[in-house]
Amino acid sequence: MKHLSRFVLSGVVLAAAWTALPSVRAADSPPTADQLAFFEKSIRPVLVKECYSCHSTGAEKIRGSLKLDTRDAIRKGGDHGPAVVPGDPEKSWLLKAIKHAEDVKPMPPKKDQLSDAVIADFEKWIAIGAPDPRDAPGSTAVAAGKWEIDIEKGRKFWAFQPPKKSPAPDVKDASWPKGNIDRYLLSEMESKGLKPVADADARTLIRRLSFDLIGLPPSPEDVESFVKDYAARPQSALEALVDKLLASPQFGERWGRHWLDVARYAESSGKTSNQAYPHAWRYRDYVIDAFNKDKPYDQFVREQLAGDLLTAKDDKEKADFLVATGFLAIGPKNHDERNPRQFEMDVADEQIDAVSRAFLGLTVACARCHDHKFDPIPQKDYYALSAIFQSTQTCYGTIRILQSNHPSPLIDLPKNAGVTIGLEPLSADRRKSIEKDIQDLKDQASKTTGANALIQTIFLRTRSSMLQSQLDLYDADGTPKAEAMGVREARFPSDGRVYIRGELDQPGDRVSRGFPQVLTTKQPFIRRGESGRRELADWIASTDNPLTARVMANRVWLHLMGRGLVPTPDNCGASGQPPSHPALLDNLAVTFAEDGWSVKKLIRRIVLSRAYQLSSQFDEKNFEADPENVLVWRMPKRRLEAEALRDAMLALSGRLDLTPPKGSPIEGNGEGNIAFRGRFLGGDASATDAHRTVYLSIVRDQVPDVLTLFDFPDPTLLVGERASTTIPAQSLYMMNNPFVIRQAEEMADRLGDGDAAARVTRAYLLCYARPPSEKELKTAADFVMDYSKKQSRRASWTALCQALFCSAEFAQR
């Protein structure tokens, strides 16, 4: 692509390269809250159980001069050198030892190798830099000794205090604020001797709002209309634009995707046995629809936690309620776990982690094996919650085959609900064909002989089971079944018990089902024969809960302003970071609830603030005093997420199909291990499917390349804030990928038949919502003319369009 490189390097049309975007986090920077939660949940318990008896300060005899109970000690290592080399699993002796590599002494000694899932956790932990809070500067964790929890003292922590609405502070420059949000922010700036930068222009605003609210670029016609209207009546024009975007069906697709990150949405189980979840897409569509309808957030919470227990006005609403509980069912699972009780406990643990972090911003799951090391959450509080989820039946489907030991039913939806059906009816001929294939596989399985007979039999039976799962998607007459993932009450709900160190063979005291003590002074009354999920849902969705409104208000602020008021959106506990503007956060939280928990009203309030409408202008004095822009003295430039980047190229090419698809490609292939189906679910669909990216199939461990390259979150994890990295592969993708080139070709064809100046201007308006400068216009026109001497005219305009795609300005909002 020499032509493209020459145009990019001209430095005129492209104001900045991809390297101008935010860089990857430094290896020696403090661990994130998510990383700390991963350590506490997946790494520390294993070290305590398997290693501390021989490799800790409290061990009777420290073997190999190796201690593993502090951050510094595990890096220093012992006789064999560093036990862990952050970021380099291959050089980490500890990983080799637990893998039972030939050249090292196996660990734990005289025991079976740790499970594949545990080894994978350690490998991942080391790869992300081995985040470890033990003995870290400023850490409140304790490496050894007794960790005492004082519930009453703990209730004084800011996050556990009820949010209070206070009057906005007075400011010196009373003409600047448009509302209370601005007063809170300006007051802090003025106290530091700082001033906000200038306002953004109309073109910047419409592009920013379009991407933030619907995830798509504005059309040139909409831009010009807004610019004219904004010049005459700025506030009215802005309000009209915001209301139009909030009412767009594309709003739910944009903001639903934000929630799907938090809900760890995917269409397979992941882990060591990656089983397909053909019905997960219903939850995706439910979320998108909920945001479009502006479903009150407290109701949104209740439906996801206890929709099966809510009273519905009709079958359609009942179906929605049931599908909503898919939130609890779609998480990752170790389907190859042999112990049914261990599997049940692990599912409940994953649900506790998802619920507590998504709705409360707390890492309650860190208390599974010991009292929480940061927050006032004793282990018995964890098991009080666990008993609620153990009294719940999780219905995710899957079939019993090799590495799938725990199949479950699905939730039947009301037949008259009018739900979307993603499959075409199954013809009689197709049914006979599949039935024949199943019988042939069974016949082959019964006749296998020789040394590999067992393996062949397992493979053939697996194939026949997977074909049977396709038939099971239909009724006998070929009508597709309306089923969903979700939860329902278990047959025998009951209280639970504490398990010492989280081990099933070490049961402790019995505990009643209930909620974390630090957040409530009154435990629920749970009727006999009920799980307690309804009570849990009502408690979380209550205005009396100090965290729920705060956490969601902070999530909305983060997506609009680029940084959360609480910078750790999934962790408002002691290991997270405190709010930068606590009074503003409380004001937003209280107002959010007062406004009927309307997410659209909250968004509207924020984007109509003057702070949101600031330019991205650099100010040296402000930067020196506040380089992280904590005080919000400007609007930071932010790179488009993977979905917005792909959708924008489809939109500009004219190929974007805004009609929501029915179902998912995963559905039509039935259940079973993804590995047996090959990689047909990966990058190919992203290259050919013209629907919005939110509708692409998300298979754990097989996420399309276009998403992973641009920091799509690991769907195994709950992620409230995506990373934003800069790597060479991103530039290479934009310069060489056939999908990008094809969109550039289609966009070039849309530029019309006018003269070069008109076509260049149209291209700039499409990509940047602004016309080119005189210098940019001349450079681009000269480039097209020069390139046309060697290649076709279409190729030259394609090269120009692709160059615009490759610019930092296109990738930012």
Distance CA 144, CA 132 (A): 14
Q: Is residue 645 over pLDDT 70?
A: yes
Between 102 and 631, residue with greater pLDDT: 631
Q: Is residue 678 over pLDDT 70?
A: no
Helix (H) or strand (E) holding 321: helix 315-324
Q: Is residue 161 over pLDDT 90?
A: yes
- Band the pLDDT of 22: cuts 50, 70, 90: very low
Q: Give the mean model confidence (pLDDT) for residues 502-519.
A: 94
Q: Which two tokens stand for residue 621?
A: 């004095």
Q: Which two tokens stand for residue 509?
A: 């005291």
Q: Is residue 23 over pLDDT 80?
A: no
Q: Name the one residue in this structure whose structure tokens are 């936690």.
A: 305
pLDDT tens-digit series, residues 409-419: 999 999 899 99
Between 576 and 40, residue with greater pLDDT: 576
Q: Is residue 107 over pLDDT 90?
A: no
Give Rg (Cα) of the chain. Answer: 28
Other beta carbons within 10 Å of 540: 23
Q: Name the one residue in this structure whose structure tokens are 């139009």.
A: 244
**Cα atoms found within 13 Å of the Cα of residue 231, Cβ hemisphere only:** 6
pLDDT of residue 18: 45
pLDDT tens-digit series, residues 617-643: 999 999 999 999 999 999 999 999 999
Q: Which two tokens stand for residue 538?
A: 């009502």
646, 694 Cβ separation under 8 angstroms: no
pLDDT tens-digit series, residues 330-346: 999 999 999 999 999 99
Q: Is residue 563 over pLDDT 70?
A: yes
**Cα atoms found within 13 Å of the Cα of residue 712, Cβ hemisphere only:** 28
Q: Give the mean model confidence (pLDDT) for residues 69-86.
A: 86
Q: Give the mean model confidence (pLDDT) for residues 45-69.
A: 83
- Band the pLDDT of 138: cuts 50, 70, 90: very low
Phi, psi (degrees; rounded to nearest 5) at 715: -70, -5
Q: What is the pTM of this model?
A: 0.89
Other beta carbons within 10 Å of 547: 22
Residue percentage of the chain with pLDDT more than 70? 93
Distance CA 386, CA 368 (A): 9
pLDDT of residue 33: 64
- Band the pLDDT of 174: cuts 50, 70, 90: very high
Lowest mean pLDDT: which of 170-174, 295-299, 334-338, 455-459?
455-459
pLDDT of residue 132: 87
467, 503 Cβ separation under 8 angstroms: no
pLDDT tens-digit series, residues 361-402: 999 999 999 999 899 999 999 999 999 999 999 999 999 888
pLDDT of residue 14: 42
Lowest mean pLDDT: which of 382-391, 451-460, 553-562, 728-737?
451-460
Q: Is residue 235 over pLDDT 70?
A: yes
pLDDT of residue 20: 38
pLDDT of residue 24: 37
pLDDT tens-digit series, residues 742-761: 999 999 999 988 899 999 99
pLDDT of residue 451: 80
Mean pLDDT of all residues belonging to the chain? 90
pLDDT of residue 147: 61
Q: Give the mean model confidence (pLDDT) for residues 568-597.
A: 96
With a CB cutoff of 8 Å and minimum separation 6, the contacts of 344 are 390
Q: Give the mean model confidence (pLDDT) for residues 141-150.
A: 59
**CA 691 distance to own-chain centroid:** 20
Distance CA 440, CA 445 (A): 9
- Band the pLDDT of 595: cuts 50, 70, 90: very high
Q: Return the closest-CA partner of residue 731 out of 640, 680, 805.
A: 805
pLDDT of residue 231: 97
Q: Is residue 710 over pLDDT 60?
A: yes
Distance CA 256, CA 660 (A): 13
511, 377 Cβ separation under 8 angstroms: no
Distance CA 160, CA 585 (A): 14
